[in-house]
């Protein structure tokens, strides 16, 4: 039986905390040939690490982090080549990005567990990190996440549209991001991406957008694409033993349209992780 998340333990922990001054600042994370720029804020009992969507930096989480205030220690960063983060000039695939995420966690939360929050492509990275390193993850908050199997289903439904979307996106992306996107396409189109994967037993909050765009920019924003998106998320959620799955009548960027909903999901997962429920 799936167990629901509880905020009781979270609220008890907060009630026991004395007022503290929030920590804030930028911290470099060294990698071979480049440095990632991470930002931390707050000094709460739970460390929360944010992973942004494709091409997005740490700033997209500012409203969520502001809602959390000093309740959590929040860490956001930009992936290689984005924002203030450096790059070695080489395109990065999923595995390389997961390794960079691990370096951020090891540098800023050495030896501890974190709540991972990921949006879109960042949600895919969060699920992959949790699958590979469950001992480092206290819980997951997945904000309209991409999945490894979504392109297989989208291509079955409308291959011509998906390929046209690829070309449109590649024509707009800067060269370095376009190189990353080509690697991502190759990985998601591979047979390996369709292989079943088990997920760790951690509390999860999954947030799914349901809004169909009046003028869809990509297939995912069409009625057919959105229906498949919901199916993908339902299948992803079924892989976890405990958690909540909520739907929002928003576009893809739930964390920007309804930041309080994401902050509440983080509180819920943090509380469940502390109480073990």
Q: How many Cα atoms within 13 Å fall on the side-chain side of residue 175?
A: 2
pLDDT given at position 18: 25
**Domain contains 106:** yes
Q: Find the CATH number of the domain harbouring 232.
A: 3.40.50.1820
Residue 210: count other Cβ atoms within 10 Å of its Cβ.
Answer: 14
Span 115-172, pLDDT tens digits: 999 999 999 999 999 999 999 999 999 999 999 999 999 999 999 999 999 999 999 9
Would you say the pTM of this structure is higher than 0.85? yes
**Domain contains 180:** no
- The domain in which residue 99 lies consists of 8-148+196-275
**Domain contains 179:** no
| Domains held by the chain: number | 1
**Domain contains 159:** no
pLDDT given at position 16: 29
């Amino acid at each position: 039986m799936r167990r629901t998340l509880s905020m009781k333990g979270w609220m008890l922990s907060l009630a026991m905390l004395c007022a503290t001054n929030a920590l804030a600042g930028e911290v470099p994370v060294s990698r071979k040939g480049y440095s990632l720029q991470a930002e931390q804020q707050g000094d709460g009992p739970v460390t929360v690490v944010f992973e942004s969507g494709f091409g997005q930096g740490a700033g997209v989480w500012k409203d969520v982090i502001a809602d959390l205030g000093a309740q959590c220690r929040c860490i956001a960063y930009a992936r290689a080549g984005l924002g203030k983060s450096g790059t070695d000039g080489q395109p990065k695939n999923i595995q390389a990005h997961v390794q960079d995420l691990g370096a951020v966690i090891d540098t800023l939360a050495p030896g501890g567990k974190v709540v991972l929050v990921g949006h879109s492509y960042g949600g895919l990275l969060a699920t992959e990190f949790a699958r590979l390193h469950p001992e480092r993850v206290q819980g997951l908050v997945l904000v309209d996440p991409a999945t490894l199997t979504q392109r297989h289903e989208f291509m079955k439904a409308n291959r011509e549209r998906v390929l046209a979307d690829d070309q449109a996106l590649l024509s707009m992306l800067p060269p370095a991001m376009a190189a990353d996107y080509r690697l991502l396409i190759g990985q998601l189109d591979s047979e390996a991406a369709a292989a079943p994967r088990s997920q760790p037993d951690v509390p999860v909050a999954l947030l799914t957008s349901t809004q169909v765009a009046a003028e869809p920019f990509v297939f995912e924003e069409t009625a057919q694409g959105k229906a498949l998106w919901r199916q993908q998320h339902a299948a992803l959620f079924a892989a976890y033993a405990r958690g909540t799955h909520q739907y929002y009548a928003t576009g893809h960027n739930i964390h920007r349209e309804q930041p309080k909903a994401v902050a509440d999901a983080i509180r819920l997962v943090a509380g469940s992780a502390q109480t073990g429920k």
